[in-house]
Amino acid sequence: MNFDINNLLRENIKNLVPYSSARDEFKGHANIFLDANENSLGSPLTKWYNRYPDPLQWKVKEKLSAIKGVAPEHIFLGNGSDECIDILYRAFCNPGKDNVIICPPTYGMYEVSANINDVELRRARLLDDFQLDLIHLENLVDANTKIIWLCSPNNPSGNALNREDVETVLNNFPGLVVIDEAYINFSRYRSFIPELQEYPNLVVMQTLSKAWGLAGLRLGMAFAGKAIIEIYNRVKPPYNINQSTQELVLKALDEVGQVNDMIKLIVQMREGLALALTKLPLVEKVYPSDANFLLVKVADAGAIYNYLLEKGIVVRNRSKVELCEGCLRITVGTEKENKDLIKNLESFIGN
Ligand SMILES: Cc1ncc(COP(=O)(O)O)c(C=O)c1O
């Protein structure tokens, strides 16, 4: 399989002269910054917020590099994974001409972003066990297929995709293969990050929104070969990660131990919650999970969803999603929240 990024890129992106910011053009040491039209007097907040942030977030990338075992030049940071997704569409997919493939049921933004960018979406539905249908996938690929989106562990099913299947896709598809590993920290299976060396068409996405507990800061990560990262950097808005996010993330990244403790606890609680749910007569099936949520098939998803809402508990009703008929998706909560959930589900039985 021959991968040539120039065969994939849109013509306008190949020829793009990116915006050059004041902070891009000046490298070195200075005391007086009169180059970026900032407010030199300061701000109503802590002093340094009057300055534009590092456009390429090198300090954050260096810390992430040590944690993930990837060189900083192989990392792109986005305003959430959603930005990492959207930029790939804008850089690689010609509106009204190219297509991408998703494997539903899966994370909704691959489809929304395709629609925003006027890119045709093809669906290779997962098999009944939520694994890839490789034959269907292969049949959907044509000369205009630019991206295959894989999500592992998958949302909303919670399972990891079989590694050999993902490798088959990587070995045979000459376009980009994106593996969204938003939930990888909760999984028994390894990340595909070490495979970046072998597959120049691979993009691995992760996020600080899940295991790291930083959904409010909006930091998504894409790991890929230098050629793909260079395209990401050309297309992104100049200052896409704000200063306070960069600072807070730098602090948080020192706390790997604390995050690992949370992950262990969440995985333990996931298993406890699964067991408690299984014992309820209204629960027909709890699907095995490698994530921080459970897909749960219940007797009457709509009624239970509404009943829980009345009790002030919000879960995700996935019962209208293909292969998830009758299912609720339930995030693992705190010990007390999980107990409250079970208690309320027990009282539904008595209704
Ligand atoms: C599979 C998957 N990818 C990405 C995201 C979003 O990540 P972020 O908060 O970094 O945009 C989610 C959020 O639910 C998700 O389920």
Q: Is 1 in the pocket of ligand 1 (CB under 6 A)?
A: no
**Tens digit of each residue's pLDDT (9 = 90 or more) over 208-228:** 999 999 999 999 999 999 999
Lowest mean pLDDT across 19-28, 61-70, 201-210: 19-28
Spatial contact of 130 and 289, defined as CB atoms under 8 Å apart: no
Instruction: Write down the pTM of the prediction.
Output: 0.96
**Tens digit of each residue's pLDDT (9 = 90 or more) over 149-186:** 999 999 999 999 999 999 999 999 999 999 999 999 99
The type of residue at 251 is K
Q: Which helix (H) or strand (E) holds 149?
A: strand 145-151
**Tens digit of each residue's pLDDT (9 = 90 or more) over 34-53:** 999 999 999 999 768 999 99
Number of Cβ atoms within 10 Å of the Cβ of 30: 8
Give residue 1's pLDDT band: very low, low, confident or very high (50, 70, 90): low
Q: Is 153 in the pocket of ligand 1 (CB under 6 A)?
A: no
Distance 177 CA to ligand 1 centre (A): 17
Residue nearest ligand 1's atom 2 by CA: 182
Atom of ligand 1 nearest to the CA of 154: 1
Q: Is 182 in the pocket of ligand 1 (CB under 6 A)?
A: yes
Among 304, 285, 303, 307, smallest CA distance to 294 is for 285
Structure-token pair, residue 304:
């239970």
**Tens digit of each residue's pLDDT (9 = 90 or more) over 112-153:** 999 999 999 999 999 999 999 999 999 999 999 999 999 999
Distance 85 CA to ligand 1 centre (A): 10
What's the rounded Cα separation, in Å, for the pair 31 and 67? 33
Structure-token pair, residue 81:
């994974």
What's the rounded Cα separation, in Å, for the pair 219 and 207? 6
Average pLDDT over residues 19-27: 82
